[in-house]
Structure 1
Amino acid sequence: MTTGRSTRRRTRRPARTVLVLVAVVALLAVAALVVLLRSPGPRPLFQLPVACGESWQLGTYPGHDDYDVDLFPTEGEAWGRPVLASYAGTVTEAGINGSLGGRTPDNPDGPRGRGGGYWVKIDHGGRWETQYLHLLEPPLVRTGQRVARGEQIGRLGSTGNSGAPHLHYEQRRGWQKVETHFDGAPSGITHDRTEYTVTRTSNNCDAG
């Protein structure tokens, strides 16, 4: 009789365990859905991701993808220019997107890579993100690191699928790309049906 009772208890325990696990998974799924459906917060006061007072050309071209922005300095050498966080946040990606290729300051016409090359992604809270692609070398920040606005995160290069040294930059709201704003003003780059350029001066002047 004792052996029979013990067997019945052992058969019940796994069933209770499965029910508890199902309940936990369901709660986690609901929590994840709430996060996904939560409305994004107000737009942060993003600044140009380059040094204070510098003038840069922002542009796009057919086939580039809506809202994507390429930045080129209007004066001086592009290679190695500091790339700055356009707003405070937490680094969620810092490494290689795709493959690097072989374009360097010493070999600017080397083979292209794939994707964004060396890149950084920053979570600014409120479901806002920024992305910085084609950096020259491994990022100066690491995943999980908190960065201030204006803090240097890398140097401008031409890794990945890039034809010349520049910074490919994106702003995302709720994981959807949106028109970039800098210092509270829209960039005007909303689609890639035609070539479009505009010159802006950076007000990314004080880290913090």
Structure 2
Amino acid sequence: MIATRVRLFLSIAVVLALAGAMAVFAEQRMRPPGPRPAFQLPVACDETWRLSTYPGHGDYDVDLYPTSGETYGRPILAAAAGTVVRAGTSGRLGDRNPDNPDGEMGRGGGYWVRIDHGGKWSTLYLHMLEEPMVTEGQHVEMGDQLGKVGSTGDSSAPHLHFEQLRDGDKVESYFGGAPSGITHDNEEYAVRLTSANCP
């Protein structure tokens, strides 16, 4: 009799705990996104990069290329402080690298990182040269190095594919509080911006 009552009590406690957890989760999902973090370009301080897109790329998808110097191996920096929620491989890496620039192209994002910045904001960094320099669960500050520019995954040339997301949906990337100007993929176009991602 006592064992039956204990089991019943434990069952009720588990059900109540699950109901409470579900209520908290639902409340968080219904909460509107917070203000946009103070994102900066995810590249080294004072460097000028070309931000571009092309037909079929995806609205708001940004490809970054340096305007001078070697592309492979350039540092990829956190655009704002946050927590790394994904760091690893997306798709098939392929065989493109500085020693084999015309190697077999892979699929997906290659080596990549996703950062949760809080308030339902996140950023993506794709096609890294090698495994990310950060791990899942790690806190990063703006400007911390995440990896190096490469051409892994579905990439025809070394570059950084970057996205800003609000509540899981891609939005126009802002840097230093100003819109990037990359909004659609109806045509090929580009802008040049200088990074203020400085210590």
Q: Which residue of 1 aligns with 2:72?
A: 79
What's the CA shift for 1:194? 1.7
Q: Is 1:148 matched up with 2:141?
A: yes
Deviation at 1:17, TM superposition (A): 2.8
Which residues in structure 2 correspond to 1:61-100 (within 5 Å)?
61-100=54-93
Q: How high is the sequence identity, in percent, across the aligned residues?
A: 59
Query: What's 1:112 paired with?
Result: 105
Candidates 37, 45, 49, aligned match of 2:38: 45
- How many aligned residue pairs are there? 199
- Which of the two has higher C-alpha Rg? 1
1:139: how far off? 0.8
Task: Determine helix, strand or coil for the equivalent of 1:113.
Answer: strand
> Residue 95 of structure 2 aligns with which residue?
102
Q: Extract unaligned runs of 5+ from structure 2.
A: none
Q: Residue 4 of structure 1 aligns with which residue?
A: none
- Partner letter of residue 162 of structure 1? S
What does 1:153-192 correspond to in 2, within 5 Å? 153-192=146-185
- Residue 149 of structure 1 deviates from its aligned partner by 0.9
Deviation at 1:182, TM superposition (A): 0.6
Deviations 1:140-186 (CA, angstroms, capped at 9, x unpaired): 11111111111111100000111100000011111111100011110
- Separation in 1, partners of 2:187, 2:68: 25
- Partner of 1:25, secondary structure, is helix
TM-score normalised according to structure 2 size: 0.95
Please, what TM-score do these two structures have when normalized by structure 1? 0.91
Q: AA paired with 2:54?
A: Y
Distance 2:139 2:11 in 1: 39
CA distance in 2, matches of 1:25, 1:147: 32
Q: Any residues of structure 2 matched to 1:123-138 within 5 Å, and which?
A: 123-138=116-131
Secondary structure class of the residue paired with 1:120: strand
What letter is aligned with 1:87? A
Shift of 1:14: 3.3
Deviation at 1:23, TM superposition (A): 1.6
Q: For 1:72-123, what per-residue CA distance to the aligned partner results, in whole angstroms no more than 9, with x for missing partners?
A: 1111110001111111111111111112111111111111112111111111
